[in-house]
Structure 1
Amino acid sequence: MRVFAACLLALFFTPDWVGEPRLPLMGRDAVIHAAPVSLDAQHPERNRVGALEWLGGVRLTSPDAAFGGFSSLHVASGRRITLLSDGGNIVQFTLGDDWRPRHIAFGDLPAGPGTGWSKVDRDSESMSVDPKDGSVVAGFETSNMLWRYTPDLRHALGSVAPRAMAAWPANEGAESFTFLPLARWGGGAITIGEQDPWPKGKGRAAIRFTGNPVTQPNRGFRFSFVPPPHYDPSDATILPDGRLIVLTRRFELPFTFSSKLVVIDRAAIRPGAVVHGREIATLAPPLIHENFEGIAATREGGRTIIWLVSDDNQSILQRSLLLKFRLDEPGAPKGVARP
């Protein structure tokens, strides 16, 4: 009887769950506040950094506890923006000329490498839309997997753990992932690891998939990307003219981030190549700076637009920033894409 009573007391006074708390999920009340930011707070008239012309930016906040931690983004026609966090949370909205988010929707990835209870189950660090069918592929760091979803991100279509990514460190995996267009590239995709090189290699391990990376994961070749000194790749995308642009970042004490954007010509990416690229802009103090982890490229009025989003790590010391630039490289004719 004493044992039975002790068990009842233990059940009564012990919380339902004493292990790791569940990964926060997005709520149904989709609210986003946007506050404008400047390229240079001390000199608000400044509108250029390297090859980028400043078009504006906002700090995004929400009363939803799961909001933030954005590691990748996609910008569709009509400025429909999709943000994916490193916990599998989805934020979608349309951004007007007044920078106010409208038609807001919150959600969560329906499936992933684990059960979805903890953050490591949904460590989604990259995302890209397949130009063939609109399906979305997300890269997961901890498991070194690629998962494919329907265009609305409501259903999983398949997944794979590519053999070439198997030895990538658990927290330094597919930080960058982008599909390649049929024009100039012939399709396929590119992924770049965050910190480690191939064995006895240089720079960062990278893979050029020549087919769909989920349905044909072991077709392609390896190459290496060498980022600027002390920087790590955090995302990549394809410019409208066919070049690859890689977003890199650096963290240094006391808690300061800086970012460099690097452009790579398509011809430089070959089997076994060691690719450096060309730096076109640096976001570092006194300019606006944060832990930028997502990049997207679009076209507006014949000009190339670059979007950046930052991962605030859901910390009160950091910000979720969405920035917009026009790519205006010296020597490139305005309104004409470079070959």
Structure 2
Amino acid sequence: MRRIVAALLVLALAGSTVVLTGRGSGAPDGPFAIRAEPVMLDAADPAHVAVGNLRFVRGWTLTSDDPNFGGLSAIARDGDGFVAVGDAGGVFRFTFDAAGAIRRAEIGALPAGPLPEGGGAVEKRDRDAEAMALDPASGRIWVGFERANGIWRYDRAFAGSDAHRRPAEMRRWPSNGGPEAMVRLPDGRFLVFSEAGRGAQGANAVLLFAGDPSEEGPEPVQLGYRPPGDHRITDAALLPDGRLMVLNRAFSLVDGVSVIVTLVDLGGDLSPGRILEGRQIARIDPPLTIDNMEALAIGERGGRTIVWMASDDNFNPLQRTLLLEFELQD
């Protein structure tokens, strides 16, 4: 992924070595706990909650004293809480109480993944996790890594990895534009989206795996995804009705960060060469509360579809880790 931190001209951490410690805290008041500070969608107008077909419910800025916290690139609901991975190899778990305060939080590190080609300590670039899929039934979690352009499979506790693969079809994807979104379909197939790899008809490359992408299997079907305008895909998640929600982000020095949310109908034949295109349902731009939104999760509450978006702060003091909750009204 092309980091907007470069455009912000804050590069203090860009070349530094990040050694993953795996430290964690199970108590919300622990020294490395995650804290949540409420935010509004529109600080100037708290009554402003509608953005297209999304209705803002609540949001938070997440912080921690743990230097390993940050860089959130993928998130999923797991039971009554969240599990997220970061682009420096961090693993983050947290649960909110009814009042919107974090009641449980853990910070750790991926126990396995791509290693430095020349050996030595694991650096941030080696564990650039950008995509994740979780199977609630088995508890298995799949993580897609940029640069390595590979997929690793873990158990629910992230205690270890028992399978990984670097598919031949992903090897030509840009090292900084590899697997950005991964979705497990109800029938066990997987969609893996490249942020910048070229696919059919000039669209972004998408691979449809017939089964587990971390294991050897049939060649994946090559599809494409066409994002809206100058935006790029940063994550995707399946809605309860089978449609695909896609998070798309753009950045410019003039306009800042922009987010477009689209819905893609996956119905019909997912045959080679099909181009997936979405219908825009929401656009979020400054001065609304927005940052480098990279992670998307879907849930249900009382028959309503709930959407969560989280941001990657790039370990940059000028950015925030946001978690925004919306209700889909579509």
TM norm structure 2: 0.88
Separation in 1, partners of 2:78, 2:157 = 13
SS of match in other structure, 1:120: helix
- 8 Å contact kept, 1:126–1:138: yes
Separation in 2, partners of 1:255, 1:161 = 37
- 8 Å contact kept, 2:20–2:109: no
SS of match in other structure, 2:221: strand
Give 1:14-53 correspondences, 5 Å limit.
21-28=17-24, 29-53=31-55
Give 1:1-339 correspondences, 5 Å limit.
21-28=17-24, 29-78=31-80, 80-114=81-115, 117-181=122-186, 186-198=187-199, 201-254=201-254, 256-267=256-267, 269-329=270-330
Give CA deviations for 1:157-181 in whole Å, capped at 9, x if unaligned.
1100011111000010001111111
Structure 2: where are the runs of 5+ without partners?
Answer: 1-14, 25-30
Q: 1:94 to 1:156 in 2, by over 3 A?
A: same
Separation in 1, partners of 2:217, 2:229 = 31
- 8 Å contact kept, 1:162–1:218: no
Separation in 1, partners of 2:255, 2:144 = 26
Query: Corresponding residue for 1:8?
Result: none
- 8 Å contact kept, 2:128–2:146: yes
**Which one-letter code corresponds to 1:77 in the other structure?**
G
SS of match in other structure, 1:213: coil
- 8 Å contact kept, 2:34–2:94: no
The number of aligned residues is 305
Residue 259 of structure 1 and its aligned partner are, at CA, apart by 0.8
Residue 24 of structure 1 and its aligned partner are, at CA, apart by 4.6
Residue 106 of structure 1 and its aligned partner are, at CA, apart by 1.3
Residue 132 of structure 1 and its aligned partner are, at CA, apart by 4.8
TM norm structure 1: 0.86
SS of match in other structure, 1:266: coil
Residue 270 of structure 1 and its aligned partner are, at CA, apart by 3.3
Separation in 2, partners of 1:238, 1:217 = 23
- 8 Å contact kept, 2:172–2:197: no
Q: 1:233 to 1:284 in 2, by over 3 A?
A: same
- 8 Å contact kept, 1:211–1:219: no
Separation in 1, partners of 2:32, 2:234 = 27
**Which one-letter code corresponds to 1:301 in the other structure?**
G
- 8 Å contact kept, 1:22–1:118: yes
Name the Cα RMSD after superposition.
1.7
Separation in 2, partners of 1:217, 1:317 = 44
- 8 Å contact kept, 1:26–1:108: yes
Separation in 2, partners of 1:279, 1:316 = 31
**Which one-letter code corresponds to 1:86 in the other structure?**
D
Separation in 2, partners of 1:320, 1:218 = 38
- 8 Å contact kept, 1:73–1:309: yes
Question: Identity across aligned pairs (percent)?
Answer: 36
SS of match in other structure, 2:295: strand
SS of match in other structure, 2:125: helix
Query: Corresponding residue for 1:12?
Result: none
Residue 20 of structure 1 and its aligned partner are, at CA, apart by 5.5
